[in-house]
């Protein structure tokens, strides 16, 4: 499996700068928020989203250095992502993320909600200061989509009639919208043509969907140690993802267990076993592969470069997390 540090080696220095800047941007005005930010941006995340923005900036500006606006866009992208994780963890009552205690379990719910709000507000402020209306529109839409995705997930808990299309729509709102719109925004800052901007959007959309589907498969197949959160936690909380939805088509008894919200002893274990015994995981892998391959097709119009190759390799990297 390729490591993310190797994959992003062409923007390694840019990412180091990004991490330093993020801590500065959040600022020391409020000690507890600074502590939360220091903690959030200090943990070793993969920084996939800002890395994509920086790689696209380098791919679309082959003969010029990337601009301060590109760098700021990468920082805004990571801020929005982090804000959404902080809020997600409160909603999901998760005590761990990537094996590290979550903000609300380390501080409390109030601080976590405020820290998330603060990061959203600050990202909006920095976004406005880019003075680029198309980019402001793209990233503002992401913030709406994230809320829409959370609401859909909240309303569709334990709903066995959920379709794969509805699942993909929610996955777009929760994960792919940020990657798609920030990819397009990076192209807009490089002043690419409208066609290439759309290709970048579609690259990000498909990479984002593949990423989310892989995450959802890992929730069934990976151990708690690997996930940094309890395995099977999606199903347990009634969040039906691709493996469960495909599994439902083959295993009618799964519907009974889900409909009664795993109320009886051994229900959740039985449900997990039924999903693993079905073609749910295999079909989800095929779906993730389809989106990863589709993403790469949208890079065809871009000039060959090390950073473009890294964007292509990212599609393999996303899938390689399954093996």
- pLDDT tens-digit readout, 206-236: 999 999 999 999 999 987 667 666 778 899 9
Query: Does residue 42 register a pLDDT over 70?
Result: no
- CA pair distance 172, 176, nearest whole angstrom: 4
Supply the DSSP symbol for 219.
H
Q: Provide the 10 A C-beta neighbour count for residue 131.
A: 9
Query: Does residue 140 register a pLDDT over 80?
Result: yes
Do 271 and 277 contact (CB within 8 A), yes or no? no
pLDDT band at 46 (very low <50, low <70, confident <90, very high): confident
- pLDDT tens-digit readout, 48-92: 999 999 999 999 999 999 999 999 999 999 999 988 888 777 776
Do 236 and 257 contact (CB within 8 A), yes or no? no
As a whole number of Å, the CA-based R_g of the chain is 20
Among 28-37, 42-51, 130-139, whose mean pLDDT is lowest?
28-37
- pLDDT tens-digit readout, 143-156: 999 999 999 999 99
Could you tell me which residue, 118 or 298, shows the higher pLDDT?
298
Q: What is the pLDDT of residue 105?
A: 76
Q: What is the pLDDT of residue 228?
A: 67
CA atoms lying within 13 Å on the CB side of residue 293: 6
* Complete DSSP assignment for 113-139: HHHHHHHHHHHHHHHHTT--HHHHHHH
Q: What is the pLDDT of residue 131?
A: 96
* Complete DSSP assignment for 56-109: HHHHH-TTSPPPHHHHHHHHHHHHHHHHHHHHHHHHHT-SEETTEE-HHHHS-H
Q: Which two three-digit tokens encode residue 44?
A: 């070793």
Q: What is the mean pLDDT of the segment spanning 35-42?
A: 68
Q: What is the pLDDT of residue 221?
A: 93
Q: Which residues contact 303 (CB under 8 A, 6 or more apart)?
A: 59, 62
- pLDDT tens-digit readout, 88-110: 777 767 777 666 777 777 777 88
Q: What is the pLDDT of residue 130?
A: 96
pLDDT band at 27 (very low <50, low <70, confident <90, very high): low
Q: What is the pLDDT of residue 109?
A: 81
Q: Provide the 10 A C-beta neighbour count for residue 323.
A: 6
Among 39-53, 60-74, 171-185, whose mean pLDDT is lowest?
39-53
Q: What is the mean pLDDT of the segment spanning 35-59?
A: 82
What sign for the dihedral angle of Cα 277, 280, 283, 284?
negative
Q: What is the pLDDT of residue 3?
A: 77
Query: Does residue 28 register a pLDDT over 60?
Result: no
pLDDT band at 38 (very low <50, low <70, confident <90, very high): low
Q: What is the mean pLDDT of the segment spanning 179-195?
A: 98
> b/e per residue, 22-58, with b = 16+ CB within 10 A?
beebbeeeeeebebbbebbbeeebebbbbbbbbbbbb
Q: What is the pLDDT of residue 19?
A: 85
Q: What is the mean pLDDT of the segment spanning 254-264?
A: 97
Q: What is the mean pLDDT of the segment spanning 248-255?
A: 97
């Amino acid at each position: 499996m390729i490591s993310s540090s190797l994959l992003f080696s062409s923007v390694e220095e840019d990412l180091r700068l990004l991490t330093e800047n993020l801590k500065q941007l959040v600022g020391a005005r409020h000690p507890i928020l600074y502590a939360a930010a220091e903690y959030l941006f200090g943990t070793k995340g993969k920084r996939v989203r800002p890395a994509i923005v920086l790689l696209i900036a380098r791919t679309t500006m082959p003969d010029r250095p990337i601009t301060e606006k590109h760098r700021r866009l990468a920082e805004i992208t990571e801020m929005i992502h982090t804000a959404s994780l902080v809020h997600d963890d409160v909603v999901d009552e998760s005590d761990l993320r990537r094996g590290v205690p979550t903000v609300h379990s380390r501080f409390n719910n109030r601080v976590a909600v405020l820290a998330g709000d603060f990061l959203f507000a600050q990202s909006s402020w920095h976004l406005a200061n880019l003075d680029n209306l198309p980019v402001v529109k793209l990233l503002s839409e992401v913030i709406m989509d994230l809320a829409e995705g959370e609401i859909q997930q909240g309303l569709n808990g334990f709903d066995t009639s959920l379709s794969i299309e509805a699942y993909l729509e929610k996955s777009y709102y929760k994960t792919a919208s940020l990657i798609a719109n920030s990819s397009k925004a990076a192209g807009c800052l490089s002043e690419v043509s409208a066609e290439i901007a759309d290709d970048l959007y579609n690259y990000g959309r498909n990479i984002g969907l593949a990423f989310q589907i892989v995450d959802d498969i890992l929730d069934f197949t990976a151990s708690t140690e690997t996930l940094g959160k309890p395995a099977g936690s999606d199903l347990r909380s009634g969040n039906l993802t691709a493996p469960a939805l495909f599994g439902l088509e083959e295993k009618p008894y799964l519907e009974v267990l889900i409909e009664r919200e795993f109320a009886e002893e051994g229900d959740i274990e039985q449900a997990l076993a039924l999903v693993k015994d079905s073609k749910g995981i295999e079909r989800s892998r095929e779906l993730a592969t389809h989106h990863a391959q589709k993403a790469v097709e949208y890079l065809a119009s871009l000039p060959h470069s090390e950073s473009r190759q890294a964007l292509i390799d990212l599609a393999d990297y996303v899938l390689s997390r399954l093996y």
